[in-house]
Amino acid sequence: MGSMVTIDVKAGAAAKQRDDAVVLPLLEGRKFTPAGDKLAGQEETRATLRAWLRRFDHLGKFGDIGTLYDVPGMFAPRLVVVGAGEERKLSLNGLRRLAAKTAHELDKRGARDVAVYLADLNVRGASVADKVRAVAEGVWLGLYRFDKYRTKKEENRRPLRRVTVMVPSRRDLDAAEAAVERARAVCAGVMFARDLGNEPGNVCTPEHLGEQALALKHPKLKVTVMDKKAIEKAGFTALLAVNQGSAREPRFIVLEYAGGAKKDAPVALVGKGLTFDSGGISIKPAAQMDEMKFDMCGAAAVLGVFRAATELNLPVNLLGVIASTENMSGAAAYKPGDVVTSYKGLTIEVQNTDAEGRLILADALAYAAERKPAEIIDFATLTGACVIALGSQASGLMGTSSRLKKALARAGEDSGDRVWELPMYEEYQEQIKSKIADIRNIGGREAGTITAACFLSRFVDDVPWAHLDIAGTAWNMKGSEISAPGATGAGVRVVMDYLASRSS
């Protein structure tokens, strides 16, 4: 992930800032926000800005960027004007994207220290602190790059070094500074998850995931990593079945963070940690199989949340559970037609060895439920069907708790890490009935995302539970404004937003 650019907050007029550049938003229809109006109202700058706007080079369309140099009446050598589009359509997620696009441009153009007035935009229902957090997240997430394995890195002699987010009044400073600190911790968690996801499968093994969990340090955090021998002793037999075809040992990782009151049951976070998924005997097509290094992004999300929560000293109790293995087709690999007994004791007929994630999650969820948490949230790159249903714009959301699902949906909208609920009607459970075991591990072509969630539901007992299928959101090889091509860190922001609201 490298070092994060410095972000701070300040109040003051655009004309008086001495940074390399001042960034002002322009609304569609060539309308400035209050900070821009104040600058344009100065006698020295009025004629220059009016003449520039009359040229119709810059209409304020979302993402348009124009630069004016040596504007009379300004100390800064550059005035960068960023199109914000229609103000009534602007959301916090749009503000994140706009901040990310702006940071990209400034980083390329050699402006090292900049003052940005993007929090001057009006976003319906958002406070100044909300807008500052969105801008900070956009800058940090947008500048993320994973170039660890490039021997020749792209050189930028004058990279962006400091971003000062300008706020309307000195009265806003305390709340804005707290917003930046929260954004810093959350983005560090997202970038940690991205780094883990982007590592190649020969580096990010189950053992490596265990080492990364142990590297998280906090006085209130305890981490336990079970090797194969300990896993056998504990009885995580579904995890061991999936591991049979791999030469690499599995790991079962448990994280316990005691940030809340002793009497409070923890929120359990469960992650799928398939560090490489060949499909096993039911082998995947060769095309894009390299992307199956991302099949551990659920585990990465759990570790990312713990990184962020501990950095913020979040006042909640958390239990993290990660089951990790490869799914390979070695001589001892489990086979279609096998019957596997899970940690909970339920027997599972294996009809497709490429539906392995739900098997290892069965053991992880059952263990988490056994610990009597307040609720369980799991993260998993579980089904290709979810990619078909929702694409890369939202993670699939299913579960047994209406309250938890509604809260996660709100957190998804606020954080921009969106989720969309799919139904789990009782009739879907019929599709995973087996003739020779308790359940089977696939439910046929119809409603594949939902029947996978139905399978998982058998292992959570009566604990309130939500399942996030991040198969479509965990990685994006095209990239976006706030995510370079590769792992996205999906799941971290939505759950951190939920935990923050839960603990407030």
Reading phi first (left if > 0) and then psi (alpha if -120 to 50, else beta), residue 253 is in: beta
Listed in sequence order, the DSSP H helices in 279-401 are 297-311, 357-370, 384-390
Catalytic residue among 228, 248, 358, 493: 358
- How far apart CA 458 and CA 366 sit, in angstroms, is 9
Q: Which helix (H) or strand (E) holds 337?
A: none
Place of tokens 């959350």: 186
- Residue 43 tokens, joined: 């006698």
- Residue 426 tokens, joined: 């009782």
- How far apart CA 425 and CA 451 sit, in angstroms, is 10
Question: Residues near 254 by Cβ (< 8 Å), separated by ≥ 6?
Answer: 223, 224, 225, 226, 319, 320, 321, 322, 367
Place of tokens 């990782």: 253
- Residue 309 tokens, joined: 């929560």
Q: Cβ distance 10 to 35 under 8 Å?
A: no
Sign of CA dihedral 60, 62, 64, 66: positive
* Residue 224 β-bridge partners: 254
- How far apart CA 15 and CA 40 sit, in angstroms, is 10
Residue 358 is among the residues annotated as catalytic for this protein: yes
Buried b (16+ CB within 10 A) or exposed e, 406-427: ebbbebbbbbbbbbebbebeee
Question: Residues near 222 by Cβ (< 8 Å), separated by ≥ 6?
Answer: 255, 256, 257, 258
Catalytic residue among 109, 284, 371, 410: 284
Question: Residues near 305 by Cβ (< 8 Å), separated by ≥ 6?
Answer: 189, 269, 318, 320, 491, 492, 495, 496, 499
Q: Could you tell me where the beta strands, DSSP code E, fall in 301-449?
A: 317-327, 339-341, 347-349, 375-380, 395-399, 419-421, 439-440
- List residues with catalytic annotation: 284, 358
